[in-house]
Amino acid sequence: MTKTPDTAILWLRRDLRLDDNPALVQAMAENERVLPLYIHAPTEEAPWAPGAATHWWLHGSLVALDQALRERGSRLRIATGESLAVLERIAQRTGATRVYWNRLYDPATRARDTHIKLALRARGLRCESSNALLLHEPWEPLTGTGGPYRVFSAYWRKAVLGLDQLTPLPAPIQWRRPPDLDDQESAGIGVDTLDLLPRIRWDQGLAERWQPGETAALAQARRFIDGPLAGYAQGRDLPGKPGTSSLSPHLHFGEIGLRRLLALIRERHGSLAAPAAEVFVRELGWREFAHHLLYHFPHTTAEPLDPRFARFPWHTADAAARLAAWQQGRTGVPLVDAGMRELWHTGWMHNRVRMVVASYLTKNLLLPWQAGAQWFWDTLVDADLAANTLGWQWTAGCGADAAPYFRVFNPIRQGERFDPQGDYVRHWCPELARLPERFIHQPWAAPVAVLRAAAITLGDEYPHPLVDLARSRLEALAAFETIKAT
């Protein structure tokens, strides 16, 4: 009797790369035929289904992955519908007996994947899952008592151990051909059918700023490692300078693996502990910590880690108008407005500015962090549920932080320190471009003659501040006092 070649489904999600892809490597090594499959089922990620900017990036990433597969004699099958039903149908029509995927860790996808694994195994299929997203599984680094960490410094002291020994998996040299699919449904649909791009084309700024895909991710990693990484410790805080990696969306979609990224750093700088590398690697640790927290505290996507903050007295009187002004970059505070406009135009915001705009929303406007997290989720191309949750809770003061409530970022001081010439503000708020450095971060303090010379009338070309920064800070601290002892 002739033995039927083993056929496997490779279920791709946020691991849209060929290099350092454990599920892909295992599937290719163990089977004669491998079907790369992407299933578009955003409702299965509710209530955190991907936002508009995420969809834009996903379109480009799927196109790039399909092209890479075609160059190797394969191609990406794309399907829509309920994931379990699609996998069962494709397995039946191809004779596949195995399904491989890389793990996701968001609460909704974890629950879905567990259900799918049990259901497929009950039907006699072998299911194998791997870790392609993180350096550590989120359940691995634990405290001495066996519990999760809640402070980053303690977590990182343990998690950083052994990173120099991690090595990436190269893309397979020999590619297995996919099984033949005769009917149109099983053969898949085109990326354009998913309707991921906006019908009203607001995405010009995204297209100017970004190039999705694995090839672009590797090129950007090398540019960063060969250049800005050497001055990252200082350059990462300057929003007007190209001092950050710009890798966050590539990492979110799995277009480059962390093991590959660390290997590239070691090749260039010798060690992850080298002065040029240590600070950046520690920032990658925050990404790991975010997934650690979300795994152990899944409720924190909508509820504060510190339960006292469930009773925080948020401002309600004109909340909708305040939120809209913040979203539109019309708060009257230049650094905040510059950040919000950068976000809308490019789908990204400098991390220093993310902290400033989040602090302003929660501690000056006294609006709930959940509203800011939701806006970021829809507008960021690197919208990552774990990182988004950690960032907003940390800034709002209700998350994993040793000294949370009294940290209030002053956007004037932040601007003067990290955008001293006002280059960032002038770029994103061009109506302020003619203001001298002394007033670029606080135009309301400029004399009338200075404003007139800069062609600015507050309330017309640029808005008056929504709130007084000093007074609103005191109001925030007073509000925090009401919940501290409870």
Q: Are 407 and 316 in contact (CB under 8 A)?
A: no
- Determine whether 200 is exposed, middle or buried from the number of CB atoms within 10 Å of its CB (0-12, 13-18, 19+): exposed
For residue 197, how many C-alpha atoms fall within 13 Å in the half-sphere facing its CB?
14
Q: Is 431 one of the annotated active-site residues of the chain?
A: no
Q: Which of 11, 101, 326, 392 is catalytic?
A: 392
Residues 256-271 as b/e (b if ≥16 CB within 10 A, e otherwise) read bbbbbbbbbbbeebee
Q: Is 314 one of the annotated active-site residues of the chain?
A: yes
Residue 47 CA to residue 201 CA, distance in Å, equals 26
Q: Are 149 and 59 in contact (CB under 8 A)?
A: no
Q: Is 394 one of the annotated active-site residues of the chain?
A: no
Q: Which of 137, 314, 431, 475 is catalytic?
A: 314
Q: Is 369 one of the annotated active-site residues of the chain?
A: yes
My answer on whether omega of the bond before 304 falls inside 30° of 0, hence cis, is: no
- Determine whether 114 is exposed, middle or buried from the number of CB atoms within 10 Å of its CB (0-12, 13-18, 19+): exposed
Q: Which of 369, 375, 394, 428 is catalytic?
A: 369
DSSP assigned state of 170: P
Residue type, 53: A
Q: Which of 32, 128, 278, 283 is catalytic?
A: 283
Q: Is 286 one of the annotated active-site residues of the chain?
A: yes
Q: Which of 45, 88, 278, 351 is catalytic?
A: 351
Q: Which of 137, 286, 416, 475 is catalytic?
A: 286
Closest by Cα among 278, 441, 439 to 353: 441
Q: Which residues are catalytic?
A: 283, 286, 314, 351, 369, 392
